[in-house]
Amino acid sequence: MKIVGFPIDVSRSQDGRIVRGLRTRQALIQATLDLIQAGDVEPTSAAIATIAGVSSRALFQHFTSLADLYAAAFDLAVSRAFDRNRPVDAAAPLSNRIELLVSDRAQLFEEWLPVWHFAERVRSVAPAVGLGVAQLRKLLRERLAVWFSTELGNLDPGSRDLVLDSLDLAFGLDSWMNMREQLRLSPVHASRTWRFTAEAIVLQALTVPNQPVAVA
């Protein structure tokens, strides 16, 4: 997955210096993402500058530190890969939504693995990336609440939170990472495992209206 596209359109600017500056900044961010996608979990300033076609001096004219560049690259990756406004057909049968959730997240998380490795590696030297990871986890949880809003709405508040916690645990990035890297499952096998979990556990929990969930 090559993450491209930027939130700022420089094509209509009349100031040549601004255009050149923004394009250089964008090139540096994209070069960082390209290196990450190639497996470099902590790209150096020299490597980034070389890929972007600029000098290391130019890099630090646009970013005060590598940590700032790392944060910008991570933010762009999140904005392009995770669409918080993507519509969900809450009226679709639950089994269909589970199938789509498994399919979408399996593909997305598999593509996202290099960025996740990068984030885990640099979060100590780039605190903004660590904050970005926390925000991403929150976003993924919120999307689950939207995905299953109809069924969750039938539960009492305590049960709802417990079921949502379970969904978040079962279908988060950490779950995919564990299946792929700790259990060494293939993407296909990992997807099937997710689907089995949803059908055997999640489906049951979400199709019993107004039934309290036991809390230990």
Q: Of the given ranges (25-29, 148-152, 200-204), which has the lowest mean pLDDT?
A: 200-204
pLDDT value for 70: 97
Mean pLDDT of 56-80: 93
113-132 pLDDT, tens per residue? Answer: 999 999 999 999 999 999 99
Q: Which residues contact 102 (CB under 8 A, 6 or more apart)?
A: 171, 191, 194, 195, 198
- Domains plus CATH for the chain? 16-78 (1.10.10), 84-206 (no CATH)
Amino acid at residue number 133: V
pLDDT band at 2 (very low <50, low <70, confident <90, very high): very low
Taking 70 as the threshold, does the pLDDT of residue 13 lie above it?
no
Residues 173-202 have pLDDT tens digits of 889 999 999 999 999 999 999 888 888 877
Measured CA to CA, the distance from residue 115 to residue 131 in angstroms comes to 15
Instruction: From residue 130, give the alpha-carbon distance in Å to each of 83, 124, 133.
Output: 20, 7, 5
pLDDT at 16 over 70: no
Confidence of residue 20 (pLDDT cuts 50, 70, 90): confident
Q: Is the pLDDT of residue 37 over 90?
A: yes
The yes-or-no verdict on residue 210 having pLDDT over 60 is no
Give the global pTM.
0.80
Q: What is the mean pLDDT of residues 65-92?
A: 88
